[in-house]
């Protein structure tokens, strides 16, 4: 880690309000240097999220005035518009909010734990591991429903996380960002082939898995929200509670121990949080990529490297991006729709290419 970045985190951890920017890092807004400014920025992000959620209730095959869509949540008279809002758009929006929080926190945690700016549940193969496990559950065990999927998604996500890190750190050199990304790409390719083989062997499971694998919040039953909520809640609480420890570890393990942090415990809790968040999100809506990659970079641009702020910003900005992508998918293909997983891939792929080609990855 560059010395200036370490100095910035050290000052932030000590509650000073004028961190020094890393050489070559985006300057970012001036207000990010004060606690009050960061808090106001977070409130502004919450306002953006509220607007996006309202647009999600109002926009679709049939547009509804935003005030009417909002009123439909509290005053029900049986009209067609209110039925559409209550039975279709509200569950879809709430699920997008829940999954967005999970993916944003998971991406920020992965990037902090691995010190890899390219870390993302999709790029590092976590989503593919969950998908492969769900394919086995559907194809060979005949399971159906989110509660059945979620445990397999957890197991697949956890196993692939270990495998990718082991491959990326094998040999004499450390687990660099590029090596981890390449290991994740290789594991993803292998698991994609395995998943395709399972579905070819079990044609009856193909339609069911295809509906899930596209990465969509459309058509999910409202009960899915409540089924995955306990896992997302526990994962989010764990993630948000690790901010100070992650700041200390960013200074190095020795410095972290000197500040009273136990690196092994922090990594174990972080891995548990990532598994819960990724497993629950993937089980609920299928694999959705790039949300966990893009959002933490935007959060760090707005707040600086202090994880106590990066994590909550990510938890707010990620659902805004996910739900906003879902709204965009409804608009660009009217009267049809483009699934949210496809939209996020179009938006996130250029960012990934830019990060991979940049000469200052280690300083992001």
DSSP 200-231: HH-GGGHHHHHHHHT---TT--THHHHHHHHH
Residue 28 pLDDT: 55
How far is it, in rounded angstroms, from Cα 341 to Cα 285?
9
Which tokens in the block code for residue 14? 């000590």
Is the pLDDT confidence value at 31 over 70? no
Rounded alpha-carbon distances, angstroms, from residue 311 to 49, 121, 210, 243, 245: 16, 16, 32, 7, 12
Q: How confident is the model at residue 334 (pLDDT cuts 50, 70, 90)?
A: confident
Is the pLDDT confidence value at 359 over 70? no
How far is it, in rounded angstroms, from Cα 185 to Cα 197?
18
Is the pLDDT confidence value at 268 over 80? yes
What is the Cα gyration radius of the chain?
Answer: 21
Is the pLDDT confidence value at 24 over 50? no
Residue 234 pLDDT: 95
CATH architecture of the region 88-358: Orthogonal Bundle (1.10)
Q: How confident is the model at residue 266 (pLDDT cuts 50, 70, 90)?
A: confident
Closest CA to 33 of 21, 42, 47, 46: 21
- Residues ≥6 apart with Cβ < 8 Å to 14: none
Is the pLDDT confidence value at 3 over 70? no
How far is it, in rounded angstroms, from Cα 238 to Cα 217?
25
Alpha carbon 173 to chain centroid, angstroms: 28
Is the pLDDT confidence value at 55 over 60? yes
Q: Is the preceding omega at residue 335 within 30 degrees of 0, hence cis?
A: yes
Is the pLDDT confidence value at 187 over 80? yes
pTM: 0.82
Q: What percent of the chain has pLDDT over 70?
A: 87
Mean of per-residue pLDDT scores for the chain:
81
Is the pLDDT confidence value at 9 over 60? no
Closest CA to 125 of 101, 91, 159, 97: 159
Residue 317 pLDDT: 96
In this prediction, residues 117-146 reach a mean pLDDT of 82
Which tokens in the block code for residue 251? 């200074």
Q: Which residue has the higher pLDDT, 20 or 147?
A: 147
Q: How confident is the model at residue 97 (pLDDT cuts 50, 70, 90)?
A: very high
CB half-sphere exposure, 315, CA atoms < 13 A: 21
Which tokens in the block code for residue 65? 């005035």
Residue 13 pLDDT: 44
Report whether 224 contacts 286 (CB < 8 A): no
Q: How confident is the model at residue 319 (pLDDT cuts 50, 70, 90)?
A: very high
How far is it, in rounded angstroms, from Cα 353 to Cα 355?
5
Q: Among 117-121, 200-204, 289-293, name the most confident range.
A: 289-293
């Amino acid at each position: 880690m560059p010395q200036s970045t370490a100095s910035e985190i050290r000052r932030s951890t000590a509650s000073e309000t004028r961190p020094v920017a890393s050489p070559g890092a985006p300057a970012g807004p001036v207000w990010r240097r004060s606690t009050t400014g960061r808090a106001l920025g977070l409130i502004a992000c919450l306002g953006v999220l509220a607007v996006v959620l309202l647009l999600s209730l109002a926009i679709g095959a049939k547009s509804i005035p935003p005030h009417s869509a909002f009123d439909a949540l509290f005053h029900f008279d049986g009209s067609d518009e209110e039925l559409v809002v209550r039975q279709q758009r509200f569950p879809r929006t709430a699920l997008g909010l829940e999954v967005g929080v999970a993916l944003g926190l998971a991406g920020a945690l992965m990037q902090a734990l691995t010190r890899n700016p390219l870390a993302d549940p999709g790029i590092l193969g976590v989503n593919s591991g969950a998908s492969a496990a769900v394919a086995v559950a559907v194809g060979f065990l005949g399971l159906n429903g989110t509660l059945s999927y979620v445990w397999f998604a957890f197991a697949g996500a956890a196993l692939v996380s270990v495998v990718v890190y082991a491959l990326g750190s094998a040999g004499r050199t450390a687990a660099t960002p590029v090596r981890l990304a390449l290991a994740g790409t290789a594991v993803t390719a292998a698991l994609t082939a395995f998943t395709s083989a399972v579905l070819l062997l079990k044609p009856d499971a193909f339609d069911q898995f295809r509906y899930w694998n596209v990465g969509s919040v459309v058509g999910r039953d409202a009960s899915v929200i409540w089924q995955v909520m306990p896992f997302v809640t526990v994962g989010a609480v764990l993630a948000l509670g690790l901010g100070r420890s992650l700041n200390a570890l960013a200074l190095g393990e020795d410095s972290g121990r000197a500040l009273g942090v136990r690196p092994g415990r922090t990594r174990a809790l972080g891995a548990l949080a990532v598994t819960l968040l990724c497993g629950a999100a993937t089980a609920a809506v299928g694999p959705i990529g790039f949300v966990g990659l893009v959002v933490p970079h935007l959060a760090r641009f707005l707040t600086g490297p202090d994880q106590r702020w990066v994590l909550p910003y990510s938890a707010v900005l990620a659902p805004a991006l996910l739900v906003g992508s879902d709204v965009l998918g409804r608009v660009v293909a009217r009267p049809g729709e483009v699934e949210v997983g496809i939209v996020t891939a179009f938006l996130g792929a250029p960012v990934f290419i830019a990060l991979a080609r940049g000469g200052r990855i280690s300083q992001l």
